[in-house]
A and B are shown apart, each in its own frame.
Chain A
Amino acid sequence: MRKGYFSLVLHAHLPYIRHQEAHRLEERWMYEAISETYIPLLWEINRLERPLGWTISISPPVIEMLADSLIQERYVEHLDDTLRLIDQELERDLVKEERDALLFYKERYHDLKVTFEYWGRDLNHAFRHYKEAGYLELMTCTATHGFSPHMLSEQAARSEIQTGMNCFERHYGFRPTGLWMPECAYTPGLDKIMYEEGIRYTFVDEHSILNADPAPKHGIGAPVYSPHGVALFPRDQIISGRIWSSVIGYPGHPNYREFYRDLAYDREWDQIAEFMHPEGLRYDTGLKLHRVTGESDQKAFYVRDWAWKQTDEHAADFAGALAEHLDQQSGQDFPPFLVTAPFDAELFGHWWFEGPDFLGKAMERFEDFGIESISPATFLDRHFDDIETVHVAMGTWGRKGYADVWINERNDWMIRHLHQLEKRLAGVVARNRHQDGLTLKAKRQLIREYLLAVSSDWPFILDGQTTAQYAANRFREHIKRFEETERLLDAGELTIDWLEARYAEYPFLADEDIEPDVYLTAHDYYVAVKRETSWNDQAVLLVAKDYTDTNRPIADFAKRLARAGENVYVITESETDYRFEDGVHVYGIKQTGLPLVQTYNQLAALNLAVLRQAQALYKIVEFRLVHNFTMETASAAQSFAEINQLPLVSNVYNLESERSPASTGGLVVAIKRLEGEALRHSAVIYLEREEARQGIEKDYHASQQPLDFQENLEKPYEQLAIQKKNG
């Protein structure tokens, strides 16, 4: 045996493109993946019939589509159609080479059908069988392949991870310890969620490890642990590049099948019409009869034997190069050098038609060269103790290595909608704690729509600009379906039938896969369920810059109100976030960040902080009025009252004309304007000092007659009721 290891990881993924209606073009992506990648890989696994050390990740959308009877049925129809097309073609007058290529396909499509039927039309059974036989490792990825680093909340990332694992477990009977993170995207903190969900390893791109801090001593020759304990296996670009590089890569060899030349484009419409889209669209038949041939546009016919033999050569070349690579690194110990080679599975077979053959043969050559192929799981079992812990920054395997693909001028419009959905999901599960079947189903449907919308495929496709319309439409569709479901849930108009009809349109994920309370924080649970509910009713909002001002009776007044049975909330400037004091809820706000220079702007910042706290409370506390005690907080009090159509009550201790009698500067003018505005908008004005009365009437022209304020007023808000009554 040679020193060092090789680990092949294949990630099978397509977006969920199952549609009830027939003839959706996108559904053919699935047929192509089955015919060209999934079944040919299974053939190789079956041929080799031994532990391969491969790890295959099958994404939940692929799992669900493989298990979908409608897709299965349509796939068999598709095979039958293709076989008929082949027969029809064979009846034509053909040159020998073309006939041979068609005969190859005839046999192949026959074999595809045999294999598909052998596994009861559900290829999940096949993968599960080989996993249980010990030939390969299986894992999955997050529920819909969402781009985790761009999610707003921990909950969304966790929901994607957990739901994906649940779906996998339902089909495969176990929970994997590794998880493919979509786009090999990692960001600090994601590892915490992964670890908590039972995941011990995932994959990142080479630069994520090379740029880790502290710099890992083995570079990409070994995985590292993230700070929260998830092993990150780096993609080895030298070895991956050998397969895919446009210069030295294998798939471009003249003997291999040409991807871009399909029979559909070589025939008159009449000859193939019955095999094309009923609306007259031409699409690939999958019968690609030519080989790469060379640079020229003149493509020669595909010769299966040549291609087959070519994979022998390339497999041997690859094994030789890998052996050399491992030998160069043989000085590495604890752990020995590991080459990790993660790929999109569809590259093998769909893009590189002979890819699965190559992989199978490469495994055989590895044996000749004494190269050990092991799964990351096995590697960890052996070497978990020899792995460094480092800080790994955000990174992906996408173009330029970060997030350029998933956030750019073509797709940036999407993100705010997704974040709103996350916030609303948190709101729905917090506000609505009903656990009955209907409500639970509704919450799950909301999450299903969010997950379908958050798929990284949509921004990816918009970035590439092919089938962009489909991606944009699907994205919008799920956002709107979410909104509609939410609206009906809030209105109490949902029915099980309606929800089931919704589900039937995109029957992705079983309800049991989805745990709504992933979106619930412990704090929200406390506020919604444990916190005293009577505190939410008919509350009075008192606003004051300094609630404890000893010259003024604000605190005494508040306490007295509370004693009289009122729900009293105070927002004031304070270092303490919250205190419940003599029946009064006192919320403290403070300004943070860079200080402001000008007094009037400091006031604006103060008011913004008041406003944020008032908004937050108003999610659950139903205020019936706003009572403002200080000019400094007037703009928040006034706007909050106005927008929410609450009466505003104002207390006046003194006026700006008294505070700054001699000054006529801009600040005084502005404050006077603010003070006057607030008083004119007040339904009731209370006077704490008689001296201010004249100013209110004369300078500010307040229409309300100021009333005398006493801290022991019997019914301070009675006046509001009278006003309301009088219209």
Chain B
Amino acid sequence: MLEKIIKLKEQGLTTKQIAEKLESTEGKVKYAWSKYRKSLSEPTNKKTTAPKTKNTGAKPTKKATPSMKTSGNDIVPAVIAIPSLERDAFGMATHYEDDIMHAIVQSPTALYVYWELSELSRKMLETHYHASFDSFRKELRIIDVTLVDYEQGEANRTYQFELPEMTNSWFVRPLSPNTTYIIEWGIQTIDGDFLPVLRSKPVETPRDEPAVEGRFAEVVARWQNGEVDQPEWVEVLRPYSYFDRIR
């Protein structure tokens, strides 16, 4: 199939046209094509660690006195270099080596969510389940966490659905207005569990009608009166810390 795809691509056909010609799906054609492209651009050495900058003299050695240890500490060497990424026809990265899922509001009844999964995460899943990444059934799980603590395993309701292959974003709709959601990307295991691999931060759909019996009067008052340190509602623009989880 790949040979045919290459041939048709050379003739200038779109993925869709090729899929029709080969009586295949667009997803399969795209996948085969991108795999082929990747194989062309793959460096022979897969090492991703950066050239070490240890000998620049900027970093103190272990024997340094305590006062020296914080001086001259201007550069933290990038242990992981910016990986060379696969590029599309416009020179844009088609995928980032990152593990992120992020949801944003489109409307009171729709969210947009996108995700990136690193090679490392794929590898771990493949190792753990002794199966190829392609063979996993990928799903999105939509979790209503309005006024509950999902960290503690609380959820009002959830639903999940299978994603087509080669998908890295989704418009999730229809949803309920004035509701807090967390979205997870994961795999449906053979024994019936949903294993969440990526999780979005909570995001709230806006109200689309006047509040009749609202839920914010009290929390706004508590916040105004200084009874709480943090507002008790979802605020999406949180600080992003590059060294998060390093103490």
- Surface stretch bound by A, among B1-9, B34-42, B112-120: B112-120
In contact, B76 and A431 (Cβ under 8 angstroms): yes
Contact between A523 and B244 (Cβ–Cβ < 8 Å)?
yes
Chain A residues lying within 8 Å of B147, measured Cβ to Cβ, are: none
**Residues of chain A lying within 8 A (CB to CB) of residue B105:** 149, 187, 394, 402-403
Query: Judging by beta carbons under 8 Å apart, are B245 and A412 in contact?
Result: no
Indicate with 1 or 0, residue by residue over B233-247, a CB within 8 angstroms of chain A CB atoms. Answer: 111111111111111
A170 at the interface (CB under 8 A from B): no
Consensus secondary structure, chain A interface: helix
Residues of B within 8 A of A210 (CB): 210
Q: Which A residues are CB-close (under 8 A) to B30?
A: none
Min C-beta distance of A179 to chain B, whole Å: 15
CB <8 Å contact, B236 and A189: yes
List, in ascending order, chain A residues with CB within 8 A of B13's CB. Answer: none
Q: Which of B118-152 contact A (CB under 8 A)?
A: 118-121, 123-125, 127-130, 143, 150-152
* Most chain B beta-carbon neighbours within 10 Å: one of A155, A193, A416, A642: A416
Residues of A within 8 A of B69 (CB): 532-534
Q: Among the listed A434, A592, A601, A608, which residue makes an inter-chain contact with B124, where contact means beta carbons less than 8 Å apart?
A: A608
Contact B82 A528 (CB under 8 A): no
Evaluate contact between B70 and A432: CB separation under 8 angstroms: no
A645 to B91, CA, bound (A): 29
Cβ–Cβ contact A622 & B79, under 8 A: yes
Chain A residues within 8 Å of B207, by CB: 211, 213, 393
Q: Which residue of B lies closest to A667 (CB)?
A: B191
Please, what's the 1-or-0 string for B59-89, where 1 marks a CB less than 8 Å from any CB in chain A? 1111010000110011111111110000000
Q: Nearest chain B CB to A666's CB is how many angstroms away?
A: 8
B236-A530 in contact (CB<8A): no
Cβ contact within 8 Å between A431 and B75 = yes
In the bound complex, CA of A666 to CA of B60 (Å): 52
User: How far, in whole Å, are A669 and B168 apart by their CA atoms in the complex?
Assistant: 33
Asked if A403 and B245 sit within 8 Å, CB to CB, the answer is no
**Which residues in chain A, 46-90, are within 8 Å of chain B measured between CB atoms?**
none
- Which residues of chain A are near B231, meaning CB under 8 Å? 188-189, 227
Interchain CB contact under 8 A, A480 and B91: yes
Docked complex Cα distance between A647 and B1 (Å): 39
CB contact under 8 A between A643 and B233, given known A214-B220, A433-B74, A534-B62: no
In the assembled complex, the Cα of A578 lies from the Cα of B80 at a distance in Å of 23
Contact of B196 among A435, A521, A605, A674 (CB under 8 A): A605
Q: Decide if A154 touches B240 in the complex (CB within 8 Å).
A: yes
Contact A402 B206 (CB under 8 A): yes
Contact (Cβ within 8 A) B211 A598: no
* Cβ contact of A187, chosen from B81, B237, B247, cutoff 8 A: B237
Distance between Cα atoms of A670 and B127 in the complex (Å): 11
CB within 8 Å of A: which of B150-168?
150-153, 155, 158, 168
Interface pair A611/B91, CB less than 8 Å apart: no
Q: Taking each of B69, B116, B168, B207, which has the highest tally of chain A beta carbons within 10 Å of its own beta carbon?
A: B207
The segment from A106-114, A271-279, A441-449, A631-639 that touches chain B is A631-639
Q: Does A24 contact B (CB under 8 A)?
A: no
Q: Does A656 contact B (CB under 8 A)?
A: no
Contact (Cβ within 8 A) A601 B189? yes
B57 within 8 Å of A (CB atoms) = no
A128 within 8 A of B: no
A564 contacts which chain B residues (CB < 8 A)?
Answer: none
Docked pose: A54 CA to B124 CA in angstroms: 61
Closest to B239 in A: A154
Contacts of B17 in A (CB 8 A): none
CB-CB under 8 A from B48, the residues of chain A are: 643-644
Q: Assess the A592–B151 pair: CB atoms within 8 A.
A: yes
Task: Tell whether, in the assembled complex, residue A188 and residue B233 are in contact, meaning their CB atoms are under 8 Å apart.
Answer: yes
Contact residues in B for A422 (Cβ distance below 8 Å): 240
Are B91 and A476 in contact, CB atoms less than 8 angstroms apart?
A: yes
Residues of B contacting A490 with CB < 8 Å? 78, 81-82
Chain A contacts with B in 609-643, Cβ cutoff 8 A: 611-613, 615-622, 635-636, 638-640, 642-643
Which residues of chain A come closer than 8 Å to B184, judged between CB atoms? 593
- Shortest B100–chain A CB gap in Å is 7
Q: Is the CB of A215 within 8 A of B214?
A: yes
The answer to whether B233 touches A391 (Cβ under 8 A) is yes
Q: Are B60 and A533 in contact (CB under 8 A)?
A: yes
Indicate if the CB atoms of A213 and B217 lie closer than 8 Å: yes
Is B236 a contact of A188 with CB atoms below 8 Å? yes
Residues of B within 8 A of A596 (CB): 193-195
Q: How far is the CA of A435 from the CA of B74 in the complex (A)?
A: 8
CB neighbours (8 Å) of A607 from chain B are 124, 128
A597 B123 Cβ-Cβ under 8 A: no
Are the CB atoms of A149 and B76 closer together than 8 Å? no
Q: Report the separation of the CA atoms of residues A272 and B214 in the bound assembly, to the nearest whole angstrom.
A: 63
A528 CB to nearest chain B CB (Å) = 5
Contact call B239/A153, Cβ cutoff below 8 A: yes
B174 within 8 A of A: no
How far does the Cβ of A420 sit from chain B's closest Cβ, in whole Å? 5
Indicate if A303 sits at the interface (CB-CB under 8 A).
no
Taken together as a complex, chains A and B put the C-alpha atoms of A666 and B52 apart, in Å, by: 44
Write the B213-243 contact mask toward A (1 if CB under 8 angstroms, else 0). 0111101100110000001011111111111
Residues of B within 8 A of A594 (CB): 143, 150, 153, 155, 158, 194, 196
Contact, CB under 8 Å: A227 / B59: no
Given contacts A480-B91, A605-B196, A608-B124, contact A153 B79 (CB under 8 A): no
- Decide if A556 is an interface residue (CB 8 Å cutoff): no
Cβ-closest 4 pairs across A and B: A189-B235, A153-B240, A213-B214, A393-B206
Extra A-B contacts (5), CB below 8 Å, given A423-B240, A524-B242, A593-B153:
A214-B216, A402-B206, A430-B243, A604-B128, A608-B195
A-B contact pairs, 22 of them (CB 8 A): A187-B236, A188-B234, A213-B207, A213-B214, A213-B220, A412-B114, A412-B171, A415-B104, A433-B74, A528-B76, A533-B69, A587-B247, A592-B151, A593-B151, A593-B199, A597-B193, A598-B193, A601-B193, A604-B189, A604-B195, A620-B76, A622-B77
- Interface positions of A (Cβ within 8 A of B): 148-155, 157, 187-190, 192-193, 207, 210-215, 227, 389-391, 393-395, 400, 402-404, 407-409, 412, 415-417, 419-420, 422-423, 426-427, 430-435, 476, 479-480, 483, 486-487, 490, 521, 523-524, 527-534, 536-537, 565, 577-578, 580, 585, 587, 592-598, 600-601, 603-605, 607-608, 611-613, 615-622, 635-636, 638-640, 642-645, 666, 670, 673-674, 677
